[in-house]
Amino acid sequence: MGQERGRTTRRRLIGAAVDCLAERGWHAATMLEIAERAGVSRGAAQHHFPTREALVVAAVEQLAEEQIAELRRRSAELPTGRARTLPVAEMVLDLYTDVKFRAALDLWVAASHDPALAAVLAPLQARVGKEAHRVVVELLGADESRPGVREAVQATLDLARGLGLANLLTDDGRRRAQIARQWARMLETAV
């Protein structure tokens, strides 16, 4: 298998895994179903990802990387100084409202009943969480040596995940936009 072709197969499997998880959940997202959706043989799928756990770890990592790259790309267009806080707050609080969050959430809930899955997801959660924290500090231009700033940034991401939950069954965009405005005001004082 050529290196280029291998990378393409990997990418397709990861994409199919994300779609499967988001649409049908961890219970229904079998290796066979994911491979079929990716248009890849089961053997080739298992060559890249020996277990379903390995595949979903790769998928979550890729989702997180894409999200962070997207945040950096969009933030490059933002104004500097105080005018930056509101658009950054809006961007961060929207982070977990798309179908990809649904896929990740499904995994987390499944892991709470499944020790093998929890064993791979818990360290991943720590790693991905740290990276998200770092990028929000950078976007806000926050000085973490000042007391409370670190916790205010953490709260921003935890709030964003809570807003992701609130958006799971209904479109919560209007309420979220109002919360983002108030949140930006609170952040300006705290950060």
* Position 174 contacts a second copy (CB under 8 A): no
| Cβ atoms 103, 22 nearer than 8 A | yes
Rounded CA gap, 58 and 64, in Å? 10
Per CB under 8 A, which of residues 90..109 are in contact with a second copy?
Answer: 102, 105-106, 108-109
CB of 67 to a second copy, least distance (A): 16
Torsion of CA 12, 15, 20, 25, to 10 degrees: 140
Under the binding rule (CB under 8 A), the answer on residue 125 touching a second copy is yes
Q: Does residue number 121 form part of the binding site for a second copy (CB under 8 A)?
A: yes
Phi, psi of 76 (to 5 degrees): -60, -25
Token pair for 92: 């961060």
Instruction: Please say whether the beta carbons of 17 and 29 come within 8 A.
Output: yes
Report the C-alpha gap between 65 and 63 in whole angstroms.
5
Closest approach, Cβ 52 to a second copy, in A, equals 16
Candidate list 65, 138, 143, 151; residue touching a second copy; CB under 8 A:
151
Q: Which residues bind a second copy (CB under 8 A)?
A: 23-25, 27-28, 102, 105-106, 108-113, 118, 121-122, 125-126, 129, 148, 151-152, 154-155, 157-166, 168-170, 175, 178-179, 181-183, 185-186, 189-190
